[in-house]
Chains A and B, each alone.
Chain A
Amino acid sequence: MIEKIFGSRALPYTTAIILLGLMMLPMYWTTVTAFKPDEETYVFPPVYFPHNPTIEPFRLLFEDYPFGSYLRNSIVVTLTTTLIVTAIGVLAGYGLSQFKFRWADTLLWILIFTRIIPPLSLLLPFYLLISWLGLVDSLASMILANIYLTYPFAVLIMKSFFDSFPRDLIDAAVVDGCSRTGALVKIVIPVSATAIASAAIITYLWTWNEFIYAFVFTSTPSAQPVTVGCFDAIGDIFVNWNQMCAGSLTAALPGIIFVFVAQRYLVRGLAAGALKF
């Protein structure tokens, strides 16, 4: 009996469908509400599929709130951070892994340590630092904060990956006359594309989703990212929930698209070696 249930072919699919169905309910509901006119939003029992779908909520969202600016800010901060962190993370991971210098382990522990300190604890001191540098309400402040938040993990992933990287490849290249840097560029990076991709993806998602620091550091749409924009909107007078859902969808969309596109790298990258702690 037990064997019939647990060994059946259908079980994984059934379980997955049920669980995923439940998990997707919020996304479904948000999407559906985002296309509802006002009359269909504020009713109970709720309307599960709009009779008169409209894109008014989106239009009004961009009209009433500087949502375009919010999106632009998020994109700039996220792309810049991801580029910087991935680049120096790869270098650092390579350095930590391939060059057995004395403080390699200490360095790694220091990096991990910086992430054990809760970001919330450092919020206020960080803010003071930012304002002394005159960077309040600037994109630079968020880029810096996000680099601090994501860099250690990127290094960790890359180092773990490089640790299990076949050294003979590198050594062979070196024998062929490549310098260490050359080996890095020509051999290592192309082969580690998956791991690098997964580090980049995680950095991208974490930066895009960051809220607390952005909330405190920024105060105008010239620098506020989309997470803060959404939050500000629900604190406003008369929350139009259909507009809010439109906003939430817009805020979540880049991450969602990214995930669909890059998902296979993520799993593979993690499996390939990031987990060999």
Chain B
Amino acid sequence: MKAKYLLFAVLLITIASAVGVAAGESTKPYEVIQWNSPKPIGERIGGSTYVLPDGWKEAVAGVKRIKVSNFGALKHDPATVQNAKKFEELTGINVQVLAWAEAPIVAKTVSIFAAKSPAVDVFCYDHPTTYTQMVAGGWLHPIDAIWNDPGAWELYAGPLKEGLKAPDGHIYGSIGQTKTMMLYYRPSIVPKPPETWVELRDMAKKATTPKVWGYVYSAGGEMDIIYPLRDMVYSQGGRIVDVERQRIVIDSPEGRNAWKMLAEMVLVDKSAPASVLEYSWMGVADLFGMGKAAMIMTHTVDANRYQDPKKAPGIQGDWAVTSPPKWDGTKPDSYHASYFDVDGYMINTFINDRQKAAAMLFVDFMRSYEASYRELIVEGNEAAVISVYDHPDASKIPVPKARQAAMKNAVLETFPPAGRMLTDVLMEYFANVIGGKMELMEGLEKCQQVLDDYAVPE
């Protein structure tokens, strides 16, 4: 008799604990984290020291490592390396940063998704050109939870909130690094920098010699041609993405002006080389560093490189930065604009739930004041958190105020899905014009036609 009762009791306890465990498991590990405590998100990540959210420890119990992809070699991203180390100190989770070459990054990312593989936890991605595509693929883990505080949005530049929202209303991406472009020039060749593109074109003509090009821009790849086109279009107050129709529009008054000026700088003025068809945005920055260009537009982070005599042998002591030009004198000053670049982080939906919790924690940390501080001061990227520019250390970096202003004016546009395919068309037709295979406006009109013909996904 006693034995029967004992058995029954044991059975009952077993069933009860099983149910208990199952009930416990129905809450996902990442839902255990309370992002808004001990302080609201905005204060928690916006203070000079990052504070971990409550519940993080049990959420990530057992996670030893997360893998995060990175644009390019780590030696160019000292801030990322330091931030990763700090994260490991805080949480005990090792961050393995994968240095992926730029060209195949999207392909590698997508092939991991296509294989539904958990090989990488967090992916870096270029927000303007690939966000909508990644979301459309259904591969991303939503991270609305970490943005659940109005105070959080206020830390960053205005365009970010709308930019991070996907068409379905959820948020799937977060900030890694932000950048914009500014005008670099050689004071010895161009004593007073141009305020407008129209002025710049004239100055470039005068500055061109057999050894130095007046102005150099990139048109080599689909990711390169959009820089000069976008900047010139924004400088006129225009846009190149028609959000309603999910199209790229180059055949607009602003687009035509930009197209014409860029092509004529090569074909008519001879102030830019035909080799722009090969240059990437990195190649253009290299050329300036070697002293072969009088003026270029490039990322603010290149200021660090130009200070280094090993990396910029041709221009030591002879380079300066100013804000991006506006189109001409008739435009308002807010059109001193370049593009707002977000290199973001997105989380793989195919990893297990504990890894997701760890990944969300990492992403939370990387957008904090502390992480942004390192981005600005250690690496010379822009700081995503605007208040970092007011920190006394900010005066150590070149032209902090001009950069802050440029970030305020910068324009964020998100491309439709297959964005890179569309910009590829821009690259092709622009090359046809420069290569003499098509007339100037014929190239533009044909290009727009091909862009419009592209099937819009349902």
Q: Please determine whether chains A and B interact with each other in the same assembly.
A: yes
Residues of A within 8 A of B (CB): 38-39, 42, 64-65, 124, 127-128, 131-132, 136-137, 215-216, 219-220, 231-232, 235-239
A131:B119 contact, CB within 8 angstroms: yes
Closest to B69 in A: A219
Chain B neighbourhood of A238, CB < 8 A: 282, 285-286, 289, 305, 311
Residues of A within 8 A of B101 (CB): 231-232, 235-236
The answer on a CB contact under 8 Å between B282 and A132 is no
Contacts of A128 in B (CB 8 A): 114-115
Cβ-neighbour of A216 out of B75, B99, B111 (below 8 A):
B111
Residues of A within 8 A of B115 (CB): 127-128, 131-132
Chain B residue contacts of A137, Cβ below 8 A: 119
B104 closest partner in A (C-beta): A215
Report which of A39, A131, A220, A237 forms a contact with B282, defined as CB distance below 8 A.
Answer: A237
B81 at the interface (CB under 8 A from A): no
- C-alpha spacing A42/B103, complex, angstroms: 25
A131 contacts B112, CB within 8 Å? yes
In the assembled complex, the CB of B155 is this many whole angstroms from the nearest CB of chain A, namely 28
Proximity bits, B306-341, A CB within 8 Å = 1, else 0: 000011011000000000000000000000000000
Q: Mark B226-260, 1 if CB is under 8 A from A, else 0.
A: 00000000000000000000000000000000000
Instruction: Please report which residues of chain B, range 71-111, place their CB below 8 angstroms from some CB of chain A when the two chains form the complex.
Output: 72-73, 75-76, 98-104, 107-108, 111
**5 additional A-B residue pairs with CB within 8 Å, beyond A132-B115, A219-B108, A238-B305:** A127-B111, A128-B114, A131-B117, A136-B112, A238-B285
Interface contact B76-A237, CB-CB below 8 Å: yes
| Complex A-B: 30 CB contacts under 8 Å | A38-B313, A39-B313, A42-B290, A42-B313, A64-B75, A128-B115, A131-B115, A131-B117, A132-B115, A136-B119, A137-B119, A216-B107, A216-B108, A216-B111, A219-B108, A220-B98, A220-B99, A231-B101, A232-B101, A235-B101, A235-B103, A236-B72, A236-B73, A236-B76, A237-B73, A237-B76, A237-B282, A237-B286, A238-B282, A238-B285
* Chain A residues with CB under 8 A of B75: 64
Inter-chain CA distance A155–B311, complex, in Å, is 51
Q: B282: which A residues are within 8 A, CB to CB?
A: 236-238
- A219 near B98: Cβ-Cβ < 8 Å: yes
Pairs of residues from A and B, 6 with the lowest C-beta to C-beta distance, nearest first: A131-B115, A232-B101, A235-B101, A237-B282, A131-B117, A42-B290
Cα-based distance from A158 to B101 in the complex (angstroms): 40
Complex Cα spacing A217 to B108, Å: 9
> What CA separation (Å) do A137 and B75 show in the bound complex?
21
Say whether A65 contacts B111, CB under 8 Å: no
Closest to A60 in B: B310
Residue of A nearest to B103 (CB): A235
Interface centre among A215, A231, A232, A239, by most chain B C-beta atoms within 10 angstroms, is: A232
* Beta-carbon contact of A38 and B310 below 8 Å: yes
Q: Which residues of A contact B117 (CB under 8 A)?
A: 131, 136
| C-alpha spacing A131/B110, complex, angstroms | 13
| Complex Cα gap A42–B104 (Å) | 28
| A235 cross-chain contacts in B, Cβ below 8 A | 72, 101-103
Residue of B nearest to A42 (CB): B290
A132, chain B: closest CB distance, angstroms: 7
- Distance in angstroms from B216 CB to nearest chain A CB is 15
